[in-house]
Structure 1
Amino acid sequence: MKYLLLLFTLVSFTLHSETYHFASINYLTEQEVGRIVLTEVYQQLGINIVITPLPGKRAQHTTAKGSNDGEIMRIYSYGYETHSTTRVPTPYYFLETMVFTKKGSSIKINNPSDLAKYQVVKVRGVKHTENITRGFENVTDTDNTAQMFKLVQAGLADIAITNRMDGLVVLKSLGITNIVAHKKSLDRLPLYHYIRKDHVKLIKRVNDKLQELSQNGGLDEIISRAEHEVFTRKLSTDH
């Protein structure tokens, strides 16, 4: 009897101490929201996760070579490039690829090809902006969104491109009022969680949970809380 009790205790401890390690892209607002949302999703599954924010290219590199268990949030095309991972089929967030220019600018961007006429800045390693500017020679990479906007403000670039929400939050936190988002985004993309391929059972468990939360409204509630937390924090601490 004592042996069975000890065995049950050890099994319970093992289950509750299950931990996975994921990468995220540092400094991006949508990724900060994703870190909160996915942590909650995994908590509901009784699983602990550790998320390490990294520059975009480094996050992909460490994931591709198997140094972690996946990435928390990437667009669909990421799966074609990172063969060590499997895309969790149910998306859990989205982003809008948005053009930002100085207020009063005569710049008009109706489609991605129009970007080739101007000096463009983007954050290094972010897939949706990499994809939309691929082949252009007029694009400069920056380390973060704030750096990108400061280049536009200083007249060293014409256009900044990032996720709409990320751009608006960072502009407000910096107190920059002379840079604005265009009315129409260049693209709207669902965002997915990627898990290393050998975690077959985990992929199914997470997808089933995301489907359940999507259908019962729970995911919307988690996202709303996460957005509020991130926006409040960024607007009170960023400079």
Structure 2
Amino acid sequence: MKGRLILSILLILSTWDSLAKEYHFVSIENLIEQEVGRKVLPHFYKKLGHSITITPLPGKRASTTVSVGEKDGEIMRIFTYGMEHPNTLRIPTPYYSLQTMAFYKKSSGVVINRKEDLQHYKLVKVRGVKHTNNITQGMPFVHDVDSTVAMMDLLELGRVQVALTNTIDGLLAIKARGYTDIISLSEPLDELSLYHYVHQEHSQLVDEVDSVIKQMKLNGELEKIIKQAEKEVFSAN
């Protein structure tokens, strides 16, 4: 009897191991919202019995590695990312959000009342980030850099007039540098939901992960995890 029980347990564990998988995702490096996502996403896959790794990369490189199938997906991107990258599948339910905010120097005379006003200024954004790519599309004076801190440095030096990024990301970069003369608009230019994306080879994950996100939203677990993740990320920056 005892031998049968042990055999049954071993069979169950063997079956579980065969179902459990490890997935390899990418995030965009040096962005606060992505750091929050790196802490939140593993909870979804843990509930499905899977483990994941997340590698921070520059924005363009991240999307390329996923498009060609080198990585299994991106941890968070805006809605239009899926339209521009047909080899990826969007998990339908968003789990986080960001704001597109404009930052400028107090004494610069910059006046921005709507998105279209950006075209009159020298702009800077982080390379490969979709929400700032979209809002500056077709504008004549756009400079790309590799990090939010580098962006604020250019703004402080007067080489650009407006820096564009997520609100919290920008505020933490300003704090890190100790700049006191850079301010933001009173309201964001846009607010966008963030979605998890997987490569099309992993279509089975779409419904599975979506169900987990919906359930965690419904029972309040996701909100608690996000608050804890934000606390850890913000305190570290």
TM-score by length of 1: 0.93
Q: Structure 1 residue 197: deviation in Å?
A: 1.9
1:29 aligns with 2:32: yes
Aligned to 1:209: 212
Q: Structure 1 residue 201: deviation in Å?
A: 2.2
Question: Aligned partner of 1:162: which letter?
Answer: T
Helix, strand or coil for the counterpart of 2:86? coil
Q: Structure 1 residue 5: deviation in Å?
A: 5.2
Which shifted more, 2-11 or 58-67?
Answer: 2-11
Which shifted more, 69-78 or 96-105?
Answer: 96-105
- 1:172-187 alignment runs, 5 A limit: 172-187=175-190
What runs of 5+ residues in structure 2 fail to find an aligned partner? none
Equivalent pairs: percent with the same residue?
48
RMSD: 1.4
1:125 aligns with 2:144: no
In structure 2, C-alpha distance between the alignment counterparts of 1:42 and 1:9, rounded to whole Å? 18
Contact 2:108 2:161 in 1 (8 A): no
Q: Structure 1 residue 37: deviation in Å?
A: 0.7
In structure 2, C-alpha distance between the alignment counterparts of 1:5 and 1:143, rounded to whole Å? 51
| Cα offsets for 1:153-204 (capped at 9, x unmatched) | 0011100000001101111122112111110111000000001123222111
Q: For 2:57, which of 47, 54, 57 is the aligned residue? A: 54
Q: For 2:89, which of 81, 86, 89 is the aligned residue? A: 86
| Cα offsets for 1:43-85 (capped at 9, x unmatched) | 2222111001000000001111111111000000000111111
What runs of 5+ residues in structure 1 fail to find an aligned partner? 235-239
Aligned to 2:106: 103
TM-score by length of 2: 0.94
Aligned to 1:10: 14
In structure 1, C-alpha distance between the alignment counterparts of 2:48 and 2:113, rounded to whole Å? 44
- 1:148-159 alignment runs, 5 A limit: 148-159=151-162
User: How many residues end up aligned between the 2 structures?
Assistant: 233
1:146 aligns with 2:149: yes
Question: Aligned partner of 1:94: which letter?
Answer: S
Which shifted more, 3-12 or 188-197?
Answer: 3-12
Question: Aligned partner of 2:15: which letter?
Answer: V
Q: Structure 1 residue 126: deviation in Å?
A: 0.2
Question: Aligned partner of 1:154: which letter?
Answer: L
